[in-house]
Structure 1
Amino acid sequence: MSADGVPHRGMITACAIGATLLQSLDQTIANVALPYMQGSFSASYTEITWVLTSYIVAAAIMTAPVGWLAVRFGRKPLYVGSIIGFTIASMLCGAAQSIEQIVLFRLLQGMFSAALVPLSQATLLDIYPPERRGFAMAIWGVGVMIGPIMGPTLGGYLTEFYNWRFVFYINLPFGLLATFGLITFLPKTLPQTALRFDWFGFAVLTTAIGAFQLMLDRGQDQDWFGSTEIIVEAVAAGLGLYLFLVHMSAARAPLIRPAIFRDVNFSSGLVLMFAMGTLLVSSLALMAPWLQNLANYPVETAGLVMAPRGFGNLITITLAGKLTGRMDPRWLVAAGLLLICWSFWRMTGWTPDVDRREIILAIVIQGAGMGLVFTPLQVLAFATLPTSFRTEAASLFSLLRNIGAAIGVSVTSTMLTRHAQALHEEIGAAINPFNRALQALSGTGRTLWDPGTADGIARLDQVVTHQAQVIAYMNDYVLLICTTLPALLLLLLMRQPRRAPVPVDQHAAMD
C-alpha cells in the first residue's frame, strides 16, 4: 500500500496501537496474579510458572513466520484473525477451571499474540510517508514500551479489587474495538497463494527457539548445567540454530530471506534492539523485588513508585518522534543509551534507606533514556530497507526483543542469586565469637547479635543475608551498564536516513 492519500489513517493508527497494547500488556500483567491462580488451582510453584512459560515460548516460536504468513494470506486477514484468536484465548484463560486448561489457553494466547506487534509496526510504516515515520514509530513505541511497565500495576489493581480472572477479561473490549476498526478501515492486500511454506526451516527454528526459551525459564530452578534437562535443551537449541542457518543460506525460498541481513542499518538495529530487550524487562524484574523485599514498600506503593518510569518514557518518545525528522537520529539513540547508563550508575549506590525522590528520579531518567532510543532506532533500522522486507523485518525485531528480554531476566536473576550466595558466605566468614566488634557489643550487654546464642545467630544471619542482597543488586546494575555501553559502537555502522521521500518498491511483496 502507498503512504500517499491513505484514507482513515487516524483510525488505522488507533487500532494498531490498541493491538500493540493488547500484546505488550499481557507480557507482564499476569505476573502479579500468579499466587492467586496457584491457590485457585491448588498448583505447585513449578506448575503455575508454566502459565508464563507457555505464553512466552508460543509467542517466540510464532513470531518468526509472521512475514511469510502476511504475504501468503494477506496482512489484513492475518491481522484480524490474530486479534480475534487472541481475544477468544483471553476469555478462555479467564474461564479456565484447572491448571491444564489455563496452560493450554495461554499457549493459544501466545500463538495469536505473536503477529500483533510486527503487523502493527509494518502497517504504520506503510501508511505514513518517510518524513512522518518518526511520529508513527513514536506513537507505536508508546504501546510497546508502556505496556510492560503498566502491566504489573494494572494486574495488581484488578487482582486486588476484583479477581485474577479479570486480568484476562480486560482484553475483551479492546479486542472487539480493534477488530471492528481493522475490518472497517484497514485496506486489503493481495495474498500470494503460490508461495510454499518452508516446513523444515520452521521446524528447526521452532526447536531452537522453544528449547532456548525453556532453558532460560527453567535454568535457575534446575541448577543450570548441573541438570540433564538443561543440557538437553541447550544442545537442542544449538543444533536447531545451526541447522536453520545452514538451511537459510542454501534453500531457494527459506522462511527468513538472508538478503534482509545485507542492510547494515537493519542488522545493526537488530543487535541494538536485542540489547534494549535485555534492559527493558530485566530492569523491571529487578526493581519490583528490590522495593518490596529490601526497601519494605507495600505492593501498592511499589507500583506507584515504579509508575513514573512510564511518564519519563512517554515524554521522550513523543519528543524523539518530533526530533527524528529534524536531526540525526543516531545522536538521539546515543543520548538515550547514556541516560540509561546514568540511571543504572545511580542505582549502584542505592541502599534500602535511600530517599524515595532519588528512586523516582533514577526511574524517570531510565524511562526517558529508553524513550529516546526506541523511536529513532526504528527509523534508522528501516530507513534503508526495501519495503518488500518490511513485515519480515518487523517480526525479526519483535523476536529479537523478546529473546533479549528472556535472556536479560534469566541472566540478571541468576547473577543476583549467585552473587547473594557468594557474598553471604564472604560476609558470614567474619561472623564468629572471636570478632572484636561483636565482642564489644557483648560487653555492653547487647545480646541481640551475640554469635554465642541461637537467637543471636539467627538475627546475624538475617542481617548478613540482607546486606548480601543489597550488594548483589548493585552488581546486577553494573552488569546492565556493561551491557548498554558497547551498544554505542553499533551507531558508528549505521547511516543517517535521507530526508527526502524514499521511492517505493513497486514489486514489493507486502504491497
Structure 2
Amino acid sequence: MLKVAGVVVLGVVMSIVDVTVVNVALQALSQAFKTSLDTIQWVATGYMLALATVIPVTGWACQRFGTKRLYMLSIFMFLVGSVLAGMAWNIESLILFRVIQGLGGGMLMPAGMTIMTQAAGPARVGRVMAVLGVPMLLGPIGGPILGGWLVDSFSWHWIFFINVPIGIVALVLAWRVLPKDNPEGAKKFDFPGMLMLSPGVALLIYGVSNVPSAGGFSHTKVWLPMLAGVVLIAGFVFRALRFENPLIDLRLLKNKVFASSVITMTFFAVAFFGAMLLFPLYFILVREQSALHAGLLLAPQGLGAMVTMPIAGRLADKAGVRKLVLPGLGLIIVGMAIFTQIEADTNYWQIMGTLFLMGLGMGFTMMPIMTAALQTLTHKDVPNASTTLNIVQQTAGAIGSAIMSVILAGLLATRFGVPTEQGQLVATVAIRDPRFPTHAQAPTLATDAFAHTFTWAAILIALCLIPAMMLPWRKPAPAPSTDGDATEAPPVMLTH
C-alpha cells in the first residue's frame, strides 16, 4: 500500500504545487509577455476554472473507465499541458495550455483519493487521508519557495518544465504499481447534470475570485457569475434528487456521518483557507518580504501538521474523529487569537511558533474530517464521495479567501482613508515609499487592519465547532457489504 500511496502523492503534489508555483511567477510572466497583470492573472484563473469544471465528472469517469486508467490519463494530460505551457509563444497560448493542465490536474486529487481509499479499505481510511494530506501541505508552503527559486535562478519556462520529469516518473510508476482496473460499467452519463454542475461550480468560483480586484461583492463581474453559478448548482440539486443516475449522487447525504463531515468540511474550508490567505500577505505587505521568504516563514505550519497528521490518521481508524477534530480546532483558534494581537515588529520566532501550533491543529482536523466522510461508505460509493468532497473544498476555500480579502481590503481602506478597492494598493505604496504622507504610520495602520481581520478569522474558525459536534464520537460501523462490493476483500496493509 505504501507504493500505491507514493504514486498517488507524486501525481497529486504536482497538481497542487503548480498552483502556487505559478502565482509567484505572475510578475515575471507579465514582463515576459509585455501584458498587464489583469490579463496575466488568467494564467492562474484559467487553470483554476478548468480544475473546477472537470472535478464533477471524475466520480462517473472512475466507475466508467477505472481509476488507474483515469489517473494515468490525468497525469498525461497535465504533462502535455506543462510542456506546451513552457513552450508558449504568447499570452493567449499560455492561458490555453494552462486550461489543458487544469483539465488533467482537476481529476488527480479525487481519483487519487478513490484509488487509496478503495485499496486500503474502510478500516484504514484515516491513514490514507494522512498520506494524502502531504501534497495539500506542500502546495501552499513549497510552491512559493520552488517558484521563487526557479524564476530567480533560471526562467519562467522552468515553472512548467519542472513537471516533466516528475510527471514521467509518476506515469511509469502508476502503470507498474497501481492495481489493475476493474471498471464497474457506470450507468448512462448524466449530460444535463454535467451541463449544470460543471459550469455552475466554475462560474461560482470565477465570481468569487473576482472579489479582491472588484473590492467587494457589488460589482457585476462578481455577483452576476456567482448568481448564475448558484442557479445552475441549485438546478442540478433539484434534478439530482429526482433523477435515477445523477452525475453526483446526493443521496449519499442520507448517510448521517457523511453529511456531518461535508457540513464540517464546508465550514472549515471557508474559515481555514480564508485565514491562510492573510499570512503571506502580512509578510509581503507589512514586513516587505519576498514571496520566497514568505514561503519559508510559513514552513513551520506545514511542519506542525506533518507531526500530528500521521498520529491523527492512526487514531481516526480506531476512535471517533470528533475526539480529534475538536482539540485540533481548539489549537487553531488559540493560534488565531494570538495573531489578533500581532504588531508591525512582532518577533519572527513568535510568529513561526504560533504557525507551528496552528499546524499541529490542522493535522488533527482536516484529514480526520475527510476520514469520517469515507469510513461508512461502500466501495462503489467512494468515487462519488471523493468528488463531492473535492468540490466542497475547492468552492468553500475560494469563498473563504474572498471573504477574508474583502474584510482586509475594507479595513485597509478605512485606515488609509481611501475607497475599498484601493486599500491594499495604497497600503503597499505608503509602506514602501518614504515620500508618502503617512509613510511613518503605514506599518502600524496596516498591521492594525490585519489584526482585526485575524479576529474575524478566529470567529469563523470558532463557528466550525458547531458542525464538528455532529461528527461521530466513536468509530462508526462500516457500511454493510453488498454482493460484488470490493469492501468484502481484505484491505491491503498500509504499513510494513
Give the TM-score, by structure 1 length: 0.87
* Match 1:51 to one of 34, 43, 48: 43
After TM superposition, the structure 1 stretch with the greater mean CA deviation from structure 2, 476-485 or 50-59, is 476-485
1:30 is displaced (CA, Å) by: 0.9
Question: CA 1:225/1:124 → structure 2, altered by over 3 Å: closer, same or farther?
Answer: closer
Alignment of 1:166-185 (within 5 A): 166-185=158-177
What do the CA deviations read for 1:113-151 (whole angstroms, capped 9, x no partner)?
Answer: 111111111111111143333222211211222222211
Q: Residues 204 and 226 of structure 2 are in contact (CA less than 8 Å); yes or no, is this contact kept in structure 1?
A: yes
Once residues 186 and 391 of structure 2 are traced to their aligned partners in structure 1, the CA distance between those partners, rounded to angstroms, is 26
Question: CA 1:497/1:87 → structure 2, altered by over 3 Å: closer, same or farther?
Answer: farther
Q: Which residue number in structure 1 is paired with residue 472 of structure 2?
A: 495
* Match 2:463 to one of 483, 486, 493: 486
Structure 2: tracts of 5 or more residues without a match? 419-433, 490-496
Answer yes or no: is 1:399 the counterpart of 2:391: yes
Answer yes or no: is 1:260 the counterpart of 2:255: no
Q: Residues 208 and 226 of structure 2 are in contact (CA less than 8 Å); yes or no, is this contact kept in structure 1?
A: no
What do the CA deviations read for 1:435-492 (whole angstroms, capped 9, x no partner)?
Answer: xxxxxxxxxxxxxxxxxxxxxx965423454333212111221111111112112233
Question: CA 1:155/1:282 → structure 2, altered by over 3 Å: closer, same or farther?
Answer: farther
Answer yes or no: is 1:287 the counterpart of 2:279: yes
1:396 is displaced (CA, Å) by: 1.1
Alignment of 1:227-246 (within 5 A): 227-246=219-238
Q: Residues 241 and 251 of structure 2 are in contact (CA less than 8 Å); yes or no, is this contact kept in structure 1?
A: no
Q: Residues 380 and 497 of structure 1 are in contact (CA less than 8 Å); yes or no, is this contact kept in structure 2?
A: no
Q: Which residue number in structure 2 is paired with residue 150 of structure 1?
A: 142
Q: Residues 308 and 360 of structure 2 are in contact (CA less than 8 Å); yes or no, is this contact kept in structure 1?
A: yes
Once residues 472 and 130 of structure 1 are traced to their aligned partners in structure 2, the CA distance between those partners, rounded to angstroms, is 45
* Match 2:413 to one of 416, 421, 428: 421
What do the CA deviations read for 1:415-446 (whole angstroms, capped 9, x no partner)?
Answer: 111111123339xxxxxxxxxxxxxxxxxxxx
Once residues 14 and 115 of structure 1 are traced to their aligned partners in structure 2, the CA distance between those partners, rounded to angstroms, is 17
Question: CA 1:502/1:236 → structure 2, altered by over 3 Å: closer, same or farther?
Answer: closer
Q: 1:349 is paired with a residue of what secondary structure?
A: coil
* Match 1:469 to one of 413, 436, 446: 446
Q: Which residue number in structure 2 is paired with residue 442 of structure 1?
A: none
Q: Which residue number in structure 2 is paired with residue 435 of structure 1?
A: none
Question: CA 1:352/1:244 → structure 2, altered by over 3 Å: closer, same or farther?
Answer: same
Give the TM-score, by structure 2 length: 0.90
Answer yes or no: is 1:373 the counterpart of 2:350: no
Answer yes or no: is 1:310 the counterpart of 2:302: yes
* Match 1:71 to one of 25, 50, 63: 63
Answer yes or no: is 1:390 the counterpart of 2:382: yes
Counterpart residue type for residue 125 of structure 2: R
1:496 is displaced (CA, Å) by: 4.2
Q: Which residue number in structure 1 is paired with residue 72 of structure 2?
A: 80
Counterpart residue type for residue 191 of structure 1: P
What do the CA deviations read for 1:392-427 (whole angstroms, capped 9, x no partner)?
Answer: 11111111111122112211112111111123339x
Q: 1:332 is paired with a residue of what secondary structure?
A: helix
The structure that has the greater radius of gyration is 1
What do the CA deviations read for 1:281-334 (whole angstroms, capped 9, x no partner)?
Answer: 433321112112212334443332211111111111122123323443211111
Q: Residues 131 and 499 of structure 1 are in contact (CA less than 8 Å); yes or no, is this contact kept in structure 2?
A: no
* Match 2:18 to one of 12, 26, 29: 26
What do the CA deviations read for 1:10-53 (whole angstroms, capped 9, x no partner)?
Answer: 32121011112112212211111000011111111110110111
Question: CA 1:501/1:419 → structure 2, altered by over 3 Å: closer, same or farther?
Answer: closer
Counterpart residue type for residue 158 of structure 2: F
Question: CA 1:194/1:68 → structure 2, altered by over 3 Å: closer, same or farther?
Answer: closer
Once residues 482 and 82 of structure 2 are traced to their aligned partners in structure 1, the CA distance between those partners, rounded to angstroms, is 38
Q: Which residue number in structure 2 is paired with residue 61 of structure 1?
A: 53
Once residues 130 and 250 of structure 1 are traced to their aligned partners in structure 2, the CA distance between those partners, rounded to angstroms, is 29
Question: CA 1:359/1:128 → structure 2, altered by over 3 Å: closer, same or farther?
Answer: same
Once residues 128 and 214 of structure 2 are traced to their aligned partners in structure 1, the CA distance between those partners, rounded to angstroms, is 43
Once residues 358 and 135 of structure 2 are traced to their aligned partners in structure 1, the CA distance between those partners, rounded to angstroms, is 17
Q: Residues 144 and 295 of structure 2 are in contact (CA less than 8 Å); yes or no, is this contact kept in structure 1?
A: yes
1:280 is displaced (CA, Å) by: 4.6
Q: Which residue number in structure 2 is paired with residue 434 of structure 1?
A: none
Counterpart residue type for residue 254 of structure 1: P
What do the CA deviations read for 1:337-388 (whole angstroms, capped 9, x no partner)?
Answer: 1111111111111111111111111111111111111232222121222222
Question: CA 1:476/1:384 → structure 2, altered by over 3 Å: closer, same or farther?
Answer: same
Once residues 421 and 499 of structure 1 are traced to their aligned partners in structure 2, the CA distance between those partners, rounded to angstroms, is 49
Counting aligned pairs with the same residue, the percent is: 26
Q: Which residue number in structure 1 is paired with residue 262 of structure 2?
A: 270
Alignment of 1:83-94 (within 5 A): 83-94=75-86
Alignment of 1:432-447 (within 5 A): none
Once residues 492 and 278 of structure 1 are traced to their aligned partners in structure 2, the CA distance between those partners, rounded to angstroms, is 17
Q: Residues 388 and 505 of structure 1 are in contact (CA less than 8 Å); yes or no, is this contact kept in structure 2?
A: no
Alignment of 1:205-224 (within 5 A): 205-224=197-216
* Match 1:202 to one of 189, 194, 203: 194
Question: CA 1:133/1:207 → structure 2, altered by over 3 Å: closer, same or farther?
Answer: closer
Structure 1: tracts of 5 or more residues without a match? 1-8, 427-456
Once residues 275 and 20 of structure 1 are traced to their aligned partners in structure 2, the CA distance between those partners, rounded to angstroms, is 24
Question: CA 1:289/1:232 → structure 2, altered by over 3 Å: closer, same or farther?
Answer: closer
Once residues 254 and 53 of structure 1 are traced to their aligned partners in structure 2, the CA distance between those partners, rounded to angstroms, is 28
Question: CA 1:258/1:278 → structure 2, altered by over 3 Å: closer, same or farther?
Answer: closer
- What value does the CA root-mean-square deviation take over the aligned residues? 2.3
Once residues 501 and 220 of structure 1 are traced to their aligned partners in structure 2, the CA distance between those partners, rounded to angstroms, is 43
